[in-house]
Structure 1
C-alpha cells in the first residue's frame, strides 16, 4: 500500500529523512488541468447513428463487456452527479481543494461520462456503461491544486478498491517558476532552478508511486492502472515540428500516457495537432461528445487529450471485466486481472491511420475495446 506523510520539516530533518532508501521527499507541485477546447463541429456530426464517434472508433459499441463489477477512480474537478449520464452510479466523492465536491468547471463531468456515462436521450457517450462504483477525487478547483492532493487522491482511490484511475491533469511548472520570481521575489535564474528541482522531485515521486502500484499483484493485492492525458501543448497546425513531449504525471513509470486522434478523410484517423508526443497509446480526442455539467441531460463536444484519456480508462474497465469473466468465482476478484496493463497496451491498432504519422505521436496505436 502507499504510505503518505506531509509533515512540516526543518531543513535538517528533511536532509536526514532523504537519506532513507525507502523515502522520497517532494515539495508540492502546482497542478493544472489539461484544458480542452470547445468543439466547432456541428452537433449532429458528433454522434452519428446515436453513438458518439469515439465510442464507435474504439469499437466499444461492439464489445460484449460493459465494465460491470469494476471500480473506477476519476481525479479531476469533481463530478456533477445529478446529470442523467450518472443514473444508478454509486459515488464516493472526496474534496482535496477545500472548495467542496461540486464540479464548478465541468471538466471532470465531461471526462467521467466518457468513461462510464449512461445513454442520454438515445445517445451513447460512455465506454463502460456498466460501471457503478466510482471514486471521485477533486484535486483541482478554482484555486488550483497540487501534487500532494493528487498523491492523496490516488492513495484513497486505491484504498477504495479502484482498478482504473483516470487523470486529465498535469504539473504546472511555468506557473511555479513565475510565482517564485514575481511573488517570492527570487531572481529569475534562482526561481527557474528551484522550480526545476521541485519538478524533478515530483517526477521521481510519481515514478516510485507507479512502481509501487505495479508491484501490487505480486503481493496478492488488486491491480491498479493509472491512465493520464499526455498534454495539449503541441502546435502542429502552426509548425509540423512543434511537438511537445508528454507531460507528468502521464510520462511517469507505469502510468499509461494517452495521446489524442481525430477523424480525417475517408474515415481514417490522424494525430490531433495539439497532442503531445511519446504517449503509450492514443484515443479519440477531438469533437468528443459527453455530459455538460450544470444540466440534467445536456451534452457538449470538447477536444483535448483530456477527452482521449477517459476513452482509455473506459476500455481498461472493459478489459478488467473481460479478464475476470473466464476465471472461477472461487478466485478473489482482486487477483482476477493480472497483467491488465499489458493487455491494454496489446489491444491497440495502427490499421486505420492516414499516412504520415510516426509512432512517437500515436504510441502503440488506437486503443480498442475487447471483443471476446
Structure 2
C-alpha cells in the first residue's frame, strides 16, 4: 500500500511499508542468463524480475576514456552486427549506451571483448538568520533536538549550482525567486533514430511542461535544497533534471541519462541531489554516479526507506557520495530509514514542509530519506560557496566531521552524526563515551577514582554533560559526581571527575573524525586522551598522535519528549492516574523517556514516577504509567508521520491511541485503523505532536 508523500506501516504485525513517493524502489532482478551455445558464454546481469523493461538493455563498455563519437560509432557497428536499435549514448558519467534488442542479441553482445557488461533496463519509482523556519532547518544550527525557532546560516550558497535529479521543478514557485530552471528531460526526449550515425546529438532535451514538474516530489526536494523560505541554501541556483515521470516512475536508462547530462554540463562548483534509489544493487547506476563525482560534482543520496542495510541498495551504496539517513523531531532514526556502514550522516526527514508543485505559493509536508538528502545537498552548497575549489571528498569529510556526534538514537550500526550548518556551541546533557579500544563506556565512579573505560552500559556513572568552555572548547561534567573532569598535574596524572569549576585542566577540544568517532585533546598539555584496551587502566591525556585507543564513540541518551494533543493543545501528563492531555506547559509529569525496543518500536517511561506506560488490560483500559518493566503491552510505535508535523501512536493491540475528538479524554488505544483510507480513518483526537523536552 502506498500513500503519496507519507510513509505508512502495514497492518501485518512485525512488517512495515517503507516504499513511498519520497523514495524510489524497483523489483528485484533475477539470475543472469547464459549466452547461446553458438557464442562465448557471458552474463547479462539481472535479466529477470518484475522491474525489468522487456527488450531494453544498457551496454557498458570497457574503454572508460571513449568519446561520445566513438561510443556512437561502436554502437552503430554493434547494431549492424547483432541487430537492435540504439536509444541513448552515455559518455560522461557512464561510457556506453542503451538499446532495444532481444535476449539473444543481448547475450551475444555481452560476450564481445569491448563490452564490460550488459544490464536490462529497469523501471523505477520515486521513492543569515531566519525566524520561525521549518523544523528541519531549525535543527541544523544547534547541538540538540530542542528547537529555538531560528535558523542561522553562514551564507546563501549563491555561487553554487544544485542539480535536482527527480520529477522536475515547478520553476514558477515563488520560493525559488527566479533561481530555478529546467535543464534536461530524460522522460520526454526526442525520438531515437532507427539507424543512428556517430554525429547524432544525444537524446533528451529541455522539458516542455510549463512548470517542469507534474508530480511534486522534485519541487519539494528543490525547496529544501534552496528555497527562500524552506531551503538550507537560500541563494543557490537550482536546475531540474527530470528522470522520473508524472507518476514518479522512470527507468535506469533515464536516470543514467540524467546523471550523464549533469556530468557533461554542470556549472561548478556544483552539487547534485538524488532522492531516489533501489532495493537491489545496479552496477551501471553506481558506476555513473561514481564517475560523475570523480568529475568534481558532490552528490547527496537518499539512503532509502526500506528499513534495510543501505549497502545493499543503489545508488546509496556509492562510497564517494554522501548517503543520508532520516531522523525525526527528537533525533531518533525514523523507523523507515535505511541504515548501516554506507550511511555518512543523518538529517531531518519527517514531516518536512517545502514547496508544492501544483501551486506557485503553496507548501506541503512529506516524510522520507528523500527529504533528508536535500538538507545535506543544501549544506554542501553552503560549504562550496565558501570553498569553491573543494573536491567532493573534502565536502563529504567536512559534513561528516562537523556533524554532531552521538546525536542520533537507534542508529542500527550507522555512523552517529547529525547534520549541522555553521558554527554551533557544543552543549549537551547525559552523553556517554564508548572507547573504541574495547567497546566499553568511560566510567566516573567517584570524585576519588580516576576515569576507566569499563562500563558495560550507559548508566549514571557513564554519563557526562558537555559544557561550553569558550573558544570552541568544552568541559565534561560527570552526572554521577556533579564535578568536572580534569587532567591533573599538567596531564601527567589520570583523568578524574573531581573539580567544582572549569579550570584550564578541565578544558578539552573535541576532534571529529570521518569514521564517526571523536578524540579529546587536553588544553593543559595539548595531548590526546587515551583509553587502554584492558579496561582496567585509567584514562590519561598522554598521547601526541591519534590511534584506536584515542578514539571514542559518543553515545546518545534515550530521548526525553513531551506529547501534545493536536485537538486540545494540551500536554499529556502521567502519574498515579491514566494519561491525559491536561497541562498547558511541560512539567516533569509531562516528560517521557523513549526506550528503544528495535525496528521502530519503543517503550515510554514516565519521568513522574519512573514507570512504563502500559496499554492496560490488553488495551481495553486507558494508558497508565504503572509498569515496572517493559513487556508486550508497554510497546508502541509511530504509526504514521503526518504532513502537519503530528504523529499517530499505535499500541500492541494494533489500535491507534486516542485522546477523544476534543483531546480531553484519558488516552486509550481503541481506534480502529482503516488501512485503505488516506487518513487511516483517524482524526484530530488521534494526532499528537512529539517534541524534545
Q: Structure 1 residues 113, 214: closer, same or farther in 2, change over 3 A? A: closer
The equivalent of 1:345 in structure 2 is 400
Q: Structure 1 residues 127, 161: closer, same or farther in 2, change over 3 A? A: same
Which of 152, 161, 168 is 2:266 aligned to?
Answer: 161
Q: How does 1:82-93 map to 2 (within 5 A)?
A: 82-93=172-183
The equivalent of 2:223 in structure 1 is 113
The equivalent of 1:26 in structure 2 is 119
Q: Structure 1 residues 347, 14: closer, same or farther in 2, change over 3 A? A: farther
Task: Measure how far apart 1:253 and its partner are.
Answer: 3.5
Partner Cα distance (2:304, 2:349) in 1 = 11
Q: Structure 1 residues 213, 157: closer, same or farther in 2, change over 3 A? A: closer
The equivalent of 2:413 in structure 1 is 360
Alpha-carbon contact 1:72-1:131 (below 8 Å) kept: yes
The equivalent of 1:320 in structure 2 is 384
The equivalent of 1:151 in structure 2 is 256
Partner Cα distance (2:372, 2:272) in 1 = 14
The equivalent of 1:274 in structure 2 is 336
Partner Cα distance (1:370, 1:29) in 2 = 40
| Secondary structure at 1:250 match in 2 | coil
Q: Does 1:51 align with 2:133?
A: yes
1:79-124 Cα deviation digits (max 9, x unpaired):
11111111120413322222854312111111100000012xxxxx
Alpha-carbon contact 2:187-2:245 (below 8 Å) kept: yes
| Secondary structure at 2:322 match in 1 | strand
Partner Cα distance (1:111, 1:76) in 2 = 8
Q: Structure 1 residues 27, 253: closer, same or farther in 2, change over 3 A? A: farther
Q: Structure 1 residues 11, 274: closer, same or farther in 2, change over 3 A? A: closer
Q: Structure 1 residues 151, 364: closer, same or farther in 2, change over 3 A? A: farther
The equivalent of 1:11 in structure 2 is 106
Alpha-carbon contact 1:232-1:305 (below 8 Å) kept: yes
Q: Structure 1 residues 323, 168: closer, same or farther in 2, change over 3 A? A: same
1:25-54 Cα deviation digits (max 9, x unpaired):
3221221111xxxxxxxxxxxxx9521111
1:293-339 Cα deviation digits (max 9, x unpaired):
21121112211111101101101111111213xxxxxxxx5x67762
In the superposition, the TM-score normalised over structure 2's length comes to 0.40
Alpha-carbon contact 1:206-1:253 (below 8 Å) kept: no
Q: Does 1:78 align with 2:171?
A: no
Partner Cα distance (1:369, 1:158) in 2 = 27
| Secondary structure at 2:119 match in 1 | coil
| Secondary structure at 1:170 match in 2 | coil
Task: Measure how far apart 1:248 and its partner are.
Answer: 1.5
The equivalent of 2:299 in structure 1 is 226
Partner Cα distance (2:152, 2:136) in 1 = 13
Q: How does 1:298-313 map to 2 (within 5 A)?
A: 298-313=362-377
Over aligned residues, Cα RMSD in angstroms?
Answer: 2.6
Give the number of aligned pairs.
Answer: 293
Partner Cα distance (2:300, 2:391) in 1 = 19
Partner Cα distance (1:322, 1:213) in 2 = 22
The equivalent of 2:246 in structure 1 is 142
Q: Structure 1 residues 167, 338: closer, same or farther in 2, change over 3 A? A: closer
Alpha-carbon contact 1:283-1:312 (below 8 Å) kept: yes
Task: Measure how far apart 1:270 and its partner are.
Answer: 1.0
Structure 2, gaps ≥5 residues long:
1-91, 143-150, 189-206, 425-693
Partner Cα distance (1:92, 1:109) in 2 = 11
Structure 1, gaps ≥5 residues long:
35-47, 120-124, 174-198, 217-222, 235-242, 325-332
Q: Structure 1 residues 371, 146: closer, same or farther in 2, change over 3 A? A: same
Alpha-carbon contact 1:206-1:252 (below 8 Å) kept: no
The equivalent of 2:659 in structure 1 is none
Partner Cα distance (2:107, 2:221) in 1 = 43
Partner Cα distance (1:95, 1:214) in 2 = 21
The equivalent of 2:184 in structure 1 is 94
Partner Cα distance (1:24, 1:255) in 2 = 23
Partner Cα distance (1:255, 1:337) in 2 = 8
Task: Measure how far apart 1:371 and its partner are.
Answer: 3.6
Higher share in helix: 1
Task: Measure how far apart 1:351 and its partner are.
Answer: 4.3
Which structure is larger by alpha-carbon Rg, 1 or 2? 2
Q: Structure 1 residues 353, 207: closer, same or farther in 2, change over 3 A? A: closer
